Amino acid sequence: MPCTRIAASRYSVGMSETPSDWSDTVFAFDAATRWFVAVTRGIAERAAGNPEVWAQPGLGEWTVRDLIGHTSRALSTIETYLDLAAEEDAAGVAGDIDVTSPAAYYERALAAGTPEIIAQRGRETAATLGAQPAAAVATLAARVLARVATLDGTEPAETPAGRIRIAEYLPSRTVELTVHTSDLLQSQGVPAAEQTLPEAAAAATLHVLADLAAQKGSAALLLRAATGRAPLPAGFTVI
């Protein structure tokens, strides 16, 4: 069933003033998380009158529900990887920090995973959200935001890509939340030109993407496109 065009305002969420450093990282993550929650809630409101909304195309082979499930992993993995690092520390088997930036994390994570594995995880996570996906996302978000608020940025997270400090891992979560919440809006008929991203989340996401472009040798292409000098090549991506 084709998506009905809707107003972007349904999915907006108010943001407050920006404060600095680890607190900036948390602020951007908080903004991205709250935006994801707000957009998911807006989709649930549509789905209340038309349950087929959840099964509409989301991104690639994912349905809207699958895409929400995948995006929610940007939150749940924080808990999982912090807990795993703490368990390894307690057992005396922890390794050294070997991933030192968000861009380095992405490079390793993308090399370790495959599109098929990522797609399947998204579907599996979507299934765990139950009959009320928006409520499940809101509960998860509240729990993770409360936990992040207790951290100082030095805590380790044990990820499949290696051990990384939460201060370097959290920006990657902001990227995932921001990019995929934009995808969700697109799936609901809100084009990019009409989307209002939380400023802190957008800035943090663009920072990581710029670092990835530099890391991959694509900085000049991105720079020239961003300044109106040349279009990007077809299929260009830094992820």
> What confidence tens digit (pLDDT) does each residue in 4-52 have?
334 444 454 544 333 359 999 999 999 999 999 999 999 999 999 999 9
**Is residue 233 assigned to a domain?**
no
> How high is the pLDDT of residue 113?
78
Distances from the Cα of 207 to the Cα of 71, 77, 236, angstroms: 20, 22, 17
Q: 3-state SS string over 176-216?
A: HHHHHHHHHHHHCCCCHHHCCCCHHHHHHHHHHHHHHHHHC
Average pLDDT over residues 61-67: 98
> How high is the pLDDT of residue 191?
97
**Is residue 12 assigned to a domain?**
no
> How high is the pLDDT of residue 14?
45
The first and second tokens of residue 233, run together, are 């090549």
Average pLDDT over residues 160-173: 98
pTM of the model: 0.91
Domain count for the chain: 1
The rounded distance, in Å, linking the Cα atoms of 131 and 141 is 17
Q: How does residue 131 score in pLDDT terms, banded at 50, 70 and 90?
A: very high
**Is residue 88 assigned to a domain?**
yes
Average pLDDT over residues 157-170: 98
**Is residue 1 assigned to a domain?**
no
> How do 156-159 and 162-165 pair as beta strands?
antiparallel
User: Which CATH number fits the domain that encloses residue 106?
Assistant: 1.20.120
Distances from the Cα of 143 to the Cα of 16, 79, 136, angstroms: 20, 9, 11
Nearest Cα residue to 176 out of 82, 18, 19, 67: 67
The rounded distance, in Å, linking the Cα atoms of 32 and 234 is 28
Owning domain of residue 141: 20-226
> How high is the pLDDT of residue 115?
87
